[in-house]
Structure 1
């Protein structure tokens, strides 16, 4: 029996093994975006592999050659690592099933890319409220979305899945039903955002179970539709940065700049570990110095206690 299973593993094509992996991902109820990511990584990997490859033939040397192949195509180290993460998840699954011998797949060394954020001058342009009586619903909605993204740091996938009933104005909370880690999350609702959303709902209307940010027909927005709409909105305001995700980076930076707690930031952003938050602290370290004296305990004591005197 064991011999037969080994023969089946040896005869498993890379295509068949990947079909098994995607089926496993669907059974585990992984996010659609995660599955698309794995599929894109697989396409890159199979462009490198010979046709009709068997999964049992893949070795550490195969992975090393794949890395070199990507470098020859001038693919950045960050993109190489992104592809490797997807391929690694797939191959580790195959190793677990005994399709190929176990070996470790390490990422290549890459410099951390500085996370872009919106500047204050750009935010001022984007946050200027349009004339609700004369602008289109789409322009007004995008303005509200930008306010929401800056106030919460939520991902696009979370934003498009929000429903009217998820905003608790009375108690000041927003319930995030759709998150990346699939864990329901409750975050505070700021006073300014509360006012903006209350006014928006007088125009948007709809039932409690309707999507908060909808298209002109009241239907749920697709990820790409909202991304494209906000990109056009930004450009119309003279802002060439067009990513909604940059509001998440901006939220993190401004939260830390204002003296926000890293552990609270981790929970607010919905990260399972502090690793990503540590990246924010590292990347924005220069900017965090701006308000350092304001929040430094010693500086606070010196200002509040006249008896603390320093030598001239």
Structure 2
């Protein structure tokens, strides 16, 4: 990659992380897409592209690029995400007022989140806490999982909590995607779990440091929680859909099933659009159909 194009990719990375405040995962994915596109253009033309070459890309060019990606084995959902990243990068590279060539993306049927039952959620958290190598680590993991299930936090949001939330009250201020903050109720059981963890943790909480610490005192990595959940899932014989994020889905689905208002649920989850929350109405309908099929003599 030539220095000018390398510089453009670096600008794109900074723009996503700082100006757009995208998550680390999104930044990596969008930058990887930009790099794949420029490498594909170099393979096609025999020379490294520049901004002018990016601006000359046609709809046929983008369709050819996506066809190559589909040949690599990506599905409709991945192709749709790739196209979205391409459009964003080309708008950025072209400057204000530049519109990328119109390309219709593949049709993607929205997936329905599969929640875990309350008993499964509790069993999962208990197993992880009981098999931890230290009591304070078990208390930590228990508190994290209760935050996901009891308050509907994303795992990144839980990892982003710092000591300035202390002392705990009846609500918790959470910073979600794109720096958006929201207030979520804190159940007594969740508050007690965090307090128990803090009482056992060998690292004193400070306002600016991560609330949840790793074994050596640094910020807890989400990957450790995911691995712990995977191990407990295998030990308990739970389905593969039992992930940390499934606990958030369960929070939403169980609240909706108990009569929660959709708008209120949108606020609790931190969804920018109500359409993101409406998927849980389909989850609840799916659960009702499962009950019907299992219980009705004519089903």
Same-fold call, TM > 0.5?
A: yes
Residue 263 of structure 1 pairs with residue 263 of structure 2: yes
Matches within 5 A, 1:137-286: 137-169=136-168, 171-176=169-174, 178-204=175-201, 206-209=204-207, 210-241=209-240, 243-286=243-286
Give the counterpart of 2:13 among 13, 19, 22: 22
Computing the radius of gyration over CA atoms, which structure comes out larger, 1 or 2?
Answer: 1
More helix by share: 2
Helix, strand or coil for the counterpart of 2:92? helix
Given the superposition, is the C-alpha separation of residues 194 and 136 from structure 1 closer, same or farther in structure 2, using an over 3 Å criterion?
Answer: closer
Q: Deviations over 1:222-263 (max 9, x none)?
A: 232333333334434443535311212111111111111111
Instruction: Give yes or no for contact 1:17–1:55 (8 Å, CA) kept in 2.
Output: no
Number of corresponding residues: 278
Compute the TM-score of the two structures, normalised by the length of structure 1: 0.76
Scaled by the length of structure 2, the TM-score of the pair is 0.79
Residues 101 and 125 from structure 1, CA distance in 2 versus in 1: closer, same or farther, beyond 3 angstroms?
A: closer
Greater CA drift, 239-248 or 14-23: 14-23
Q: In structure 1, what is the Cα distance between the partners aligned to 2:29 and 2:253?
A: 27
| Residue of structure 1 in register with 2:81 after alignment | 82
Q: Compared with structure 1, are the counterparts of its residues 283 and 132 closer, same or farther at alpha carbon in structure 2 (3 Å cutoff)?
A: closer
Contact 1:175 1:186 in 2 (8 A): yes
Q: Distance in 1 between matches of 2:289 and 2:261?
A: 15
Q: 1:26 to 1:185 in 2, by over 3 A?
A: same
1: distance between equivalents of 2:138 and 2:54? 50
Deviation at 1:270, TM superposition (A): 0.9
Structure 2 unpaired stretches of 5+: 292-299
User: Corresponding residue for 1:5?
Assistant: none
Contact 1:142 1:230 in 2 (8 A): no
Q: CA RMSD in A?
A: 3.1
- Identify if the C-alpha distance between structure 1 residues 230 and 29 changes in structure 2 by more than 3 Å, giving closer, same or farther: same
Deviations along 1:39-80, one digit per CA (max 9) or x if unpaired, are 122244345433323313311111111222222233110111
